[in-house]
């Protein structure tokens, strides 16, 4: 079964990561078959100053707008 590497900006909670790991695992089992314990999810927290898109560091971009309620 697969190993899924998730790279994301630091700051997500353990609860958010657990929920994402469950959803990714469930999707793999549903689509690929096999058992949940065969799916590995690895999280890599990356600081915004260590990630650039379009030649610009994310730490230099405006902060994201808060989510609407």
Q: pLDDT band for 64, please (50, 70, 90 cuts).
A: confident
Identify the pLDDT of residue 62.
79
Q: What is the pLDDT of residue 7?
A: 98
3-59: CATH topology: Macrophage Migration Inhibitory Factor (3.30.429)
Note the pLDDT of residue 66. 78
Is 64 part of the annotated catalytic residue set?
no
Listed by start position, the domains of the chain span: 3-59
Cα angle 43, 69, 53; round to 5 = 40
Check residue 55 and give its pLDDT: 95
| Exposure of 30 in the CB half-sphere (CA atoms within 13 A) | 6
Model confidence pLDDT, tens digit, residues 14-49: 999 999 999 999 999 999 999 999 999 999 999 999
């Amino acid at each position: 079964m697969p190993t899924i590497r998730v790279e994301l900006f630091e700051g997500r909670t353990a609860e958010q990561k657990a929920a994402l790991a469950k959803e990714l695992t469930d999707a793999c089992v549903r689509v690929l078959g096999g058992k949940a314990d065969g799916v590995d999810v690895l999280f890599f927290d990356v600081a915004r100053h260590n990630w650039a898109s379009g030649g610009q560091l994310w730490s230099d971009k405006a902060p994201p707008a808060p989510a609407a309620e």
